[in-house]
Amino acid sequence: MTDRRRTGVLLRAVGIALLAVGAVAVPGRAADSNPADDLLDRARHAVRNLEFHGTVRIWWRDAKGGQNQTVAVAAVGGELQIAGGKVLEDSGRSWVAQAGGWQTLWADANDTKDANAPNLARKYTVIRRAGPMVVQRSTTMLVIRRGGHDVEQIEFDRVTGIVLGRDRFDVTGAPTYRMEFVTLTGVRVRRGQAAVPKIDAEAPGRVRAAPADTARALTGGFVLVDARRMNASETQLRYSDGVFEASVFAQSGALDWSSLPAGGSDVRYGSVRARRYRSAAGTVMVWQAGDRTLTCVTDARDDDALGIVESLSRSSDSDWTTVVRFVTGPFSWR
């Protein structure tokens, strides 16, 4: 396996684990408050300030019908440990153990307030109600709705605030994703501070200025939140609609369809042909727009993904700066 492919596998593992515990993947707080903020803030606080051991089961729908994966997680000393400590996460920063030491996968500490993100109430309706029992613990459910249909449901432990379950649905109301704890033990107040690895000087994840001609808004209410450093010359553009995110990467030149990994399916968004991949952590879409190859990684519904693809395809007719090369690293394709 090449270094690039190996890194993709590890990044996907990190993404699954972070989704599982709700440390990063819960909606960010916008500049203005919303009815979900206290539950979401409490969930983030729980991961940083409690210790526990657990097993999480994840199901997601793909072209074959559905896939399952089980992930072991442990929160110790404010640090999230995955796969026996081979992958670590601390306040949004993450590392993976390699033969020569630790590699920094993400450098910026997680900020729970995205000043540029829109308030989710502009697009969604938020309902709080009693949730189901999960691992024999009572929950409060946060229901996020749009157009009269549930988009997402998040189940919070009433006692600790930990995210114990999470569901996503497509535009028809059919489930596309389910995460739930199947075991949870040793929950207690954090003891001490974990000693995290050093951050590489050239590590990805640090905020940087977006190119001046970057698209600032996309169809579906997605706005540019920030730009993140991938390496000395590459940038990730991060968009949000207040609930879901889309990360965008680009490369000059025509798309070589034969070079794409197996496991995807061809779909059409209007006149645009795209290759779509599903995973537990979201959807990856690759397509050609003008003289560029674009990649979008998102956890949004397919109808919103359509708007993103169409918006970026239109923007390719302008002088939008090529901000990064074609990236397929965030996910394993096997």
CATH of the domain at 286: 3.30.200.100
Q: Which residue has the higher pLDDT, 3 or 198?
A: 198
Task: Give the model's confidence band at 233: pLDDT under 50 very low, under 70 low, under 90 confident, else very high.
Answer: low
Task: Give the model's confidence band at 187: pLDDT under 50 very low, under 70 low, under 90 confident, else very high.
Answer: very high
Query: What is the arithmetic mean of pLDDT over 79-92?
Result: 81
In this predicted structure, what is the pLDDT of residue 27?
57
Query: Do residue 116 and residue 62 come from a single domain?
Result: yes
Q: Name, in order, each residue with C-beta under 8 angstroms of 14's C-beta and a sequence gap of 6 or more.
A: 82, 87, 89, 94, 96, 105, 106
Instruction: Please report whether residue 121 resides in a domain.
Output: yes
In this predicted structure, what is the pLDDT of residue 167?
93
Query: Do residue 180 and residue 219 come from a single domain?
Result: no
Of these ranges, 87-101, 145-159, 188-202, 291-305, the one predicted with the greatest mean pLDDT is 145-159
Per residue in 277-298, pLDDT (tens digit) is 887 768 888 998 887 788 888 8
Instruction: Please report whether residue 155 resides in a domain.
Output: yes
In this predicted structure, what is the pLDDT of residue 32?
59
- Per the listing, tokens 């901000």 go with 323
In this predicted structure, what is the pLDDT of residue 175?
93
Closest CA to 195 of 44, 302, 315, 88: 88
Instruction: Please report whether residue 56 resides in a domain.
Output: yes
Mean pLDDT of the residues in the chain: 79
Q: Are 296 and 191 in contact (CB under 8 A)?
A: no
Query: What is the arithmetic mean of pLDDT over 157-186?
Result: 92
Query: Do residue 183 and residue 215 come from a single domain?
Result: no
Range of the domain at 289: 207-315
Sign of the Cα pseudo-torsion (29, 114, 117, 104, in order): negative
- 223 forms beta bridges with 217, 240
Instruction: Please report whether residue 258 resides in a domain.
Output: yes
Query: Do residue 144 and residue 260 come from a single domain?
Result: no
Query: What is the arithmetic mean of pLDDT over 45-66?
Result: 87
Task: Give the model's confidence band at 31: pLDDT under 50 very low, under 70 low, under 90 confident, else very high.
Answer: low
CA-derived radius of gyration, the chain: 19
Sign of the Cα pseudo-torsion (185, 189, 194, 200, in order): positive
In this predicted structure, what is the pLDDT of residue 4?
43
Query: Do residue 123 and residue 23 come from a single domain?
Result: yes
Instruction: Please report whether residue 130 resides in a domain.
Output: yes
Query: Do residue 33 and residue 156 come from a single domain?
Result: yes
The answer to whether residue 150 scores a pLDDT higher than 90 is: yes
Query: Do residue 266 and residue 126 come from a single domain?
Result: no
Query: What is the arithmetic mean of pLDDT over 235-241?
Result: 87
The answer to whether residue 256 scores a pLDDT higher than 80 is: yes
In this predicted structure, what is the pLDDT of residue 58?
87
The answer to whether residue 12 scores a pLDDT higher than 60 is: no
Instruction: Please report whether residue 81 resides in a domain.
Output: yes
User: How many independent structural domains does the chain possess?
Assistant: 2
Strand (E) positions, 40-114? 50-60, 67-76, 79-82, 87-90, 93-98, 101-106
Query: Do residue 182 and residue 254 come from a single domain?
Result: no
Query: Do residue 183 and residue 213 come from a single domain?
Result: no
Instruction: Please report whether residue 326 resides in a domain.
Output: no
Query: Do residue 114 and residue 223 come from a single domain?
Result: no
